[in-house]
Amino acid sequence: MKIVIGLIFIGSLLYGFDYHLKPVQVDKNVTCFFGKSEPVTKENGGEIANSCYVATIGGYVVIDSGPTYSFARQAYTAMQKLSPLDVQYVINTHKHDDHWLGNGFYKSIGAKIIGPVTLKNSVGKDEITRMQRVVSAETFAKTNIVYPDIDIEKTKNIKVGHTSFEIRQLSKKAHTAGDLIIYIPHKIIFTGDLVFNGRLLSLRDGDINGWLEALDKIEALDWKVLVSGHGRLTDRSALDMTRNYLTDLKKSVKKALDEDVELGEVTQKVKLEKYKDIPMYKLLNNLNILKAYQLLEFEEE
């Protein structure tokens, strides 16, 4: 018993906040840590987004580094137990902080960071991020803003070992400005927050038309496995909730605009209640309706 307590104590000193990470193999060489379908809280340490490791003979490529330095370190430790490979690259899919604040840990072990140019352009070096405001100081310890070494505006291809990674921007603005996908041809696609399942999406920094355009391009690619930014589905059905919700949102808001519904009344007229049982509906649905109204009203003009 004393040994067990000692190990727990050492672990708490090493990590501070224990994320209790459980790696899930989603393909032969791809392992993911799936985030929770809930908002960022002190209790979950910001662990709401997916972070994945792709193993190659040349080392690991990490897709999204997670919400904190500690999360990244714990994910790396778990992966070293599975296969002790160096991390060559970390690719940030977009600018939201739950996906990239673990960059600092990977930078400390020599990995190169790749991300959209919009990350550096939209997040100040000394900015207090949402994560820092919400999680505890203990959880956020050693976390800081580390920009990508390589900025992507449209496309870039990298090769690690024998594995080719195509990094693409599919739409100028979709979930955010500059969203990136990572595509391993004919095998797997990492979509970041262009795809949500298991919880409602957020349109707050996005464009509904650009997002639907990006989904069309994702669907047209040849892939067998899709890993989203949020959610555990990895087959073709992984796309369904995002596409259906955005399509219904656009149709319903355009109908309200045609009927001259004012902005202050639109959330009373548009409900999208078929999605009410999806986690985070109450938090995000009305905000999405208001954002879609503003985007589509401008389009009508």
Tokens 């955005």 correspond to 246
Structure confidence by residue, pLDDT tens digits, 14-29: 557 999 999 999 999 9
Nearest-angstrom CA–CA distance, 195 and 188:
14
pTM of the model: 0.94
User: pLDDT class for 49, splitting at 50, 70, 90?
Assistant: very high
CB 140 within 8 A of CB 72: no
Structure confidence by residue, pLDDT tens digits, 235-284: 999 999 999 999 999 999 999 999 999 999 999 999 999 999 999 999 99
Nearest-angstrom CA–CA distance, 110 and 106:
7
| Residue 229 pLDDT | 98
- Residue 156 above 50 pLDDT? yes
Per-domain residue ranges for the chain?
A: 17-238
Nearest-angstrom CA–CA distance, 145 and 102:
9
* Pairing status of strand 181-184 against strand 112-116: unpaired
Nearest-angstrom CA–CA distance, 265 and 219:
35
> Which of 46, 182, 50 is CA-nearest to residue 114?
182
CATH topology (fold) of 17-238 = Metallo-beta-lactamase; Chain A (3.60.15)
CB 114 within 8 A of CB 80: no
Say which DSSP state 100 is in: B
| Residue 14 pLDDT | 54
